[in-house]
Amino acid sequence: GFEVQIAGSGQVVPVAPGQSVVQALAAHGIDVPVSCEQGVCGTCVMRVVQGEPEHRDMYFSAAEHAANHCFTPCCSRSKSARLVIDF
Ligand code: FES
């Protein structure tokens, strides 16, 4: 697992193995709009402020993945122990 921190509030939310970032945030009362939940549509896209996502979507290009400025919390995970996100 890893944890996400919300840039604005500083709130830290743990993400368990087998749980998506969207599910983890929802369990803490933070609802992220989603549609496909498969990394295709881009509805859920969030900015990455700090940390390195493990991209599992098909929405961004390889160059966008490498830039690590955004990620899709419906399906992507984190290579860093903590991912600081903004949305
Ligand atoms: Fe479609 Fe995340 S909900 S990419």
Residue 21 Cβ contacting ligand 1 at under 6 Å: no
Tokens 């402020």 identify what position? 49
4: nearest Cα among 22, 59, 18: 22
Q: What is the whole-number distance in angstroms between the Cα of residue 81 and the centre of ligand 1?
A: 22
Residue 44 Cβ contacting ligand 1 at under 6 Å: yes
**CA–CA distance, 17 with 14 (Å, rounded to integer):** 10
Q: Is 53:84 a contact under the CB 8 Å cutoff? A: no
**What are the tens digits of pLDDT across the range 21-73?**
999 999 999 999 999 999 999 999 999 999 999 999 999 999 999 999 999 99
pTM here is 0.95
Q: Give every CB contact of residue 26 below 8 A, 6+ residues apart in sequence.
A: 32
Q: What is the whole-number distance in angstroms between the Cα of residue 87 and the centre of ligand 1?
A: 14
**Strands 82-86 and 70-71, how do they pair?**
unpaired
